[in-house]
Structure 1
């Protein structure tokens, strides 16, 4: 293999980013992946949540943005799969952690799962992985009518702000990994997804 061939392959490799997308079941991971595909392909179609099939096992999707090839490993969030999550951390450039911000009954469960996985990986490899926490489904909060919602699992803008502060404190408390970003987003409306792509590239 010639020197120029090696340099060309290295250049291509430098433009590739491997992202691991994790989160509890029904947090909207696959919808975010579909949304990223939509905005990078500049499609005009609108995706509904019912059209997205939850990931069973894992899937790998790729999007191109700003000359970077971003490979997203979307791993299922079912309880039976969570013990195997840390097997996918090898050689990743970024961890995307998806939180269903609309279901406050599972916020603690999600953050505990995130911390367990980060601690496990750091103990084994003594590494710090850039983390982007995706507060997904903010479109559901924005469309709520205050005072007319009787579901205690869901909440409005005031509770959203307190949850955002809680998540920041949780990550700051994880002193070994301060390389994190929190992004409000929606896989359905595509809110925050371009910001996500920019942050993935910045963290490369």
Structure 2
């Protein structure tokens, strides 16, 4: 037999309602702000025509109609789910490349973009510039993301051809580097490549300090 009075039942009902409202309030309003995404400063280099500006503009969802080669340098904050990359893109013309090293300071990673369908002469120049960057005192310990761009072109060289021609195995031994095929018609692959770099930067950031 139920001995609760009508008044007691009402009180219990109100208590259950209050608990439910409080639970909903905490779920909606008391989650707290999500932790800020880490930011990494990276430098992006490559010859004129390699596609640096187009790739970065596409990642930032910018208009592709009026893209012109970078003549000095530009900085873009490229957002990803796990981090923000502050990318300092340097112009790739011959009269600008000699000043690249002036902008290396403060970099935490390097993006080198090459045209995998370029002429032999241009590919040789790109090879020399990459070798110079890999050995520069301010960059030699940093992670490198090397993008073999324009893979959609018929004359594009394969990743294995690029790796062999650029002598990456012996030159970059002991360094953290990634070589990825990219093109503007496959931005999912481009984003995956940048995400790989972020993972390497994050791992490096959390490495224990050696005393």
TM-score (norm: length of structure 2): 0.69
User: For 1:53, what is the secondary structure of its paired residue?
Assistant: coil
What is the CA–CA distance in structure 1 between the aligned matches of 2:124 and 2:142, rounded to whole Å?
A: 21
Flag the structure with more relative contact order, 1 or 2, with Cα contacts below 8 A and sequence separation at least 6.
1
Find runs of 4+ consecutive structure 1 residues off by over 6 angstroms: none
What is aligned with 2:134? 118
- Rounded to whole Å, the distance in 2 between the matches of 1:138 and 1:114 is 19
Q: Which residue of 2 aligns with 1:137?
A: 150
- Report how far residue 191 of structure 1 moved: 4.9
8 Å contact 2:75–2:89 — kept in the other structure? yes
Paired residue total: 166
TM-align CA RMSD: 2.5
Change (3 A) 1:90 1:66: same
Structure 2 equivalent of residue 163 of structure 1: 161
Gaps spanning 5+ residues in structure 1: where? 1-10, 142-154
2:88 aligns with 73
Shift in alpha-carbon separation, 1:161–1:203, aligned structure 2, 3 A: closer
Larger radius of gyration: 2
1:190 to 184, 187, 194: 187
Relative to structure 1, the CA distance from residue 194 to residue 161 in structure 2 (aligned partners, 3 Å threshold; closer, same or farther) is closer
The verdict on how the C-alpha distance between 1:176 and 1:84 changes in structure 2, with shifts beyond 3 A counting, is: farther
The secondary structure found in structure 2 opposite 1:172 is: helix
TM-score scaled by structure 1?
0.72
2:159–2:180 contact (8 Å) kept in structure 1: no
Aligned equivalents of 2:131, 2:75: Cα separation in 1: 24
